[in-house]
Structure 1
Amino acid sequence: MSFNNKVIWITGASSGIGEALTVALANQSSLSLIISARNETALNAIKERLPLVQIAVLPFDLLDYQNAPAVVEKAISFFGKVDILINNGGISQRSLIAETDFNVDRRIMDVDYFGTIALTKALLPHFIKNQSGHYVTVTSLMGKFGAPYRSGYCAAKHALHGYFDVLRMEHEKDGIEVTLVCPGFVQTNVAINALTADGSPQAKNSESTENGMELSEFIPKMIRAIEQKKFEVYIAKNEILGVYLKRFLPKYLHKLVVKSKVR
């Protein structure tokens, strides 16, 4: 697939994977970008750095998912269409189940799951009308297996896999594609911004994230998966093994993860 003349909408575009993806795509062929996140100042700064590509800034908080239809209408108005929606926005977690306030569980599910599917559903009629469209949803290896301190995050990512697998089945007839991108540890601020038991950010990095895959290696692999319209792709270092252990040796994976004391 070529990105020529495509309109690509990226959520969570103000930092991390979203920002790096925006910059990488801006260096591609003729395309237009819509970038969304809560931080409008950061989005405008990214736009200013990339003057050679058409970029529309569309601030949006995934918690405000009741407003998704209006946000989608605004997105379509910029360039007359949306060809690819990259659902990248979200938040992580670092807290034990027994210590985590229920409101934290709810917030993670609201942002990572309900916010994402609200935007997806609001855009669906546009894709059906055009008989074309591509959803690219960034989940996680945690959408395939679990790890301590990430219960709500794992639950939301597992839910996204179930939802988008069915969306792909129901709308294949409408020319709609779905790609699920499952990162492992990537060198971003995801751990720093992760919610703790009371809902406050962890405000510090983790060793696993610091030692994760560099964005310069991750982003080309993600772009390749989008171009090839992969159903599902795992992009990670050694932690990718967990996907296959979960499938064939789940008890062994359980022991391995518990022993690793991952944070």
Structure 2
Amino acid sequence: MHFTDKIIWITGASSGIGKALAIELANNNAFLILSSRKKQDLAQIQKACKNPDNVKIVPLDLEKYDKLEEVAKLAIAAFGRIDILVNNAGISQRSLLKDTNIAVDKRIMEINYLGNIGLAKAILPHFITNKKGHFVVTTSIVGKIGTPLRSSYAASKHALHGFYDSLRAEHYKDNIAVTLVCPGFVNTNISKNALTGDGSPQNKMDTATANGLPANYFAQLMAKAIYKEKEEVYIAGAKEKLGVYMKRWFPKVFSILIRKISVT
């Protein structure tokens, strides 16, 4: 597996999966464009990458989705083209839906869905002109199944599946690929940064997240899925994967099991 001469734009690259993926792809000779709101953190990751001169930084805030066309132009200008967009940035949730302020639902949808597809729409004309492109989207296992404490997060990830399945079908003739990557529990700060019902961060690590897949191992598997242009891949523990298949084939049994998950 190698990504020699591939120009890959990664959002949410300042930590977690994005950071680990950047280092993994750099080790496989990719040229990288790293984006997030945290420019200083990106600079540190740039230094940690193999061949830092092949890594450019373009700050990005997905909540400002009306500015994403301008950001896309800057990203394209960094190396003259983009081959792969890894739409990875997002935010999670830890709150019961009855306790979740509608402003929190709105913010999660604006970041995880509108910001994500806004960036896709900004880069799509570039892919169409080049008659080649690849969207890689970090969704979630809860983009396939809804679980307690994650109603808004699950909704935002489900929405991404619908959007990108449609994009894949519409632009097949333009040689544009879509890879939907569905993580289970990965040991990152996602649960610490997750929004609670009033919009404040949870500020603590979930036990399941702490025991999740190491981010660098996850990145290795994600890189392989990107290289093979998989349409959809579940990178998760056995229980999370089982949930996806139970939901598909035994929905009533799944419903009984999922409501037994602790919501405290």
Bucket of the pairwise TM-score, normalised by the shorter protein: over 0.9
Distance in 2 (alpha carbons) for counterparts of 1:196 and 1:179: 30
User: Within the alignment, does 1:16 sit opposite 2:16 as a pair?
Assistant: yes
Question: In the alignment, is the contact (CA less than 8 A) between 2:143 and 2:161 conserved in 1?
Answer: yes
Equivalent residue number for residue 169 of structure 1: 169
1:39-58 superposed matches below 5 A: 39-50=38-49, 52-53=51-52, 54-58=54-58
Equivalent residue number for residue 116 of structure 2: 116
Distance in 1 (alpha carbons) for counterparts of 2:103 and 2:160: 20
Shift of residue 253 of structure 1?
A: 1.1
Render the CA deviation track for 1:230-250: whole Å, top value 9, x for unaligned.
000001002111110111111
Question: In the alignment, is the contact (CA less than 8 A) between 2:143 and 2:157 conserved in 1?
Answer: yes
Equivalent residue number for residue 33 of structure 1: 32
CA RMSD of aligned residues (A): 1.1
Q: TM-score, normalised by structure 2?
A: 0.97
Question: In the alignment, is the contact (CA less than 8 A) between 1:138 and 1:182 conserved in 2?
Answer: yes
Distance in 1 (alpha carbons) for counterparts of 2:191 and 2:166: 30
Alignment-mate amino acid for residue 13 of structure 2: A
Shift of residue 213 of structure 1?
A: 1.2
Distance in 1 (alpha carbons) for counterparts of 2:245 and 2:56: 40
Shift of residue 260 of structure 1?
A: 2.6
1:1-263 superposed matches below 5 A: 2-29=2-29, 31-50=30-49, 52-53=51-52, 54-237=54-237, 238-261=239-262
Percent same amino acid among aligned pairs?
A: 52
Render the CA deviation track for 1:64-123: whole Å, top value 9, x for unaligned.
110010000000001000000000000000011111110000000000000000000010
* Structure 1 segments (4+ residues) deviating >6 Å: none
Distance in 1 (alpha carbons) for counterparts of 2:263 and 2:221: 25
Distance in 1 (alpha carbons) for counterparts of 2:203 and 2:43: 25
Task: Flag the 1:211–1:51 CA change in 2: closer, same or farther, 3 A.
Answer: closer
Alignment-mate amino acid for residue 16 of structure 2: G
Shift of residue 50 of structure 1?
A: 2.5
207-216 or 17-26: bigger deviation: 207-216
Q: TM-score, normalised by structure 1?
A: 0.97
Question: In the alignment, is the contact (CA less than 8 A) between 2:148 and 2:261 conserved in 1?
Answer: no
Alignment-mate amino acid for residue 34 of structure 1: I
Alignment-mate amino acid for residue 185 of structure 1: F
Distance in 1 (alpha carbons) for counterparts of 2:225 and 2:32: 18
SS of the aligned residue for 1:85 comes to strand
Distance in 1 (alpha carbons) for counterparts of 2:263 and 2:216: 24
Question: In the alignment, is the contact (CA less than 8 A) between 1:147 and 1:262 conserved in 2?
Answer: no
